[in-house]
Amino acid sequence: MSGHSKFANIKHKKEKNDSAKGKIFTVIGREIAVAVKEGGADPANNSRLRDVIAKAKANNMPNDTIERGIKKAAGDANSVNYENLTYEGYGPNGVAIIVDALTDNKNRTAANVRSAFTKGGGNVGTPGSVSFMFDKKGQIIIDKEECEMDADELMMLSLDAGAEDFAEEEDSYEVITAPEDFSAVREALEKEGIPMMEADVTMIPQTWVELTDDDAIKKMNRILDLLDDDDDVQATYHNWDE
């Protein structure tokens, strides 16, 4: 993982999200609804909700929008019928893709995801067909420019809180945790006022695939753009080395 900066990619994603804030806010709104339904509306007693709130803040979601989402979910707890679904498949040249969705209509989501893969020359596989090529980890990305703490101090703070790994890249720091330690590490950094660009449990590829053919790159971008435009899709992971 070290030496392979994800920050440029994250920045690209954030810029895209800035032009389509409605999408990311929809995604986070659904996560808030599910977190409230599962663990209640009080973040102090609901670590999943705390994590979603941190993600919302990292994506510049206004506090009143977050609070409104929590209140709405608490009032409509019984009407929240979102189901978590995961799709796995391949894009051009064997690029592995995992799609996490949160939906109230399985048939619609399955059709849309399948269509996105097909239009980009890929195909949806069976469960487990590509997930073995990824590690599920907590990942926290910190922009160096925004962080006043020096690298050694930040590394010690992260490791003492339970992080597995700490990497310093050219423009960012990356903190990796086991999924079950993610909340504790994120909260320890938050307590120290560390600004986080990205904080989420994610799927990190074990190996990367390069695409050199223009047509393959075009097709891969087509798949990712179609998935990105789908409100049911919460996250897309892949091992394309952009």
CA distance 180 to 203: 14
Q: What is the pLDDT of residue 77?
A: 61
Q: Which domains does the chain have, with CATH numbers?
A: 6-73 (1.10.10.200), 81-130+205-236 (3.30.70.980), 133-203 (3.30.70.980)
Strands laid side by side in the 96-103 sheet: 123-124, 83-90, 96-103, 233-238
The counts of H helices and E strands in the chain are 8, 8
| Percent of the chain predicted with pLDDT > 90 | 79
Residues 104-114: tens digit of each pLDDT: 999 999 999 99
Residue written as token pair 């504790």: 184
Mean pLDDT of 215-242: 94
pTM for this predicted structure: 0.84
How do the residues of the chain divide into helix, strand and coil, expressed in percent and rounded to 5?
50, 20, 25
Q: What is the pLDDT of residue 5?
A: 46
Mean pLDDT of 141-161: 95
Mean residue pLDDT of the chain comes to 90
| Percent of the chain predicted with pLDDT > 70 | 90
Residues 26-60: tens digit of each pLDDT: 899 999 999 999 999 999 999 999 999 999 988 88
Q: What is the pLDDT of residue 23?
A: 82
Mean pLDDT of 87-105: 96
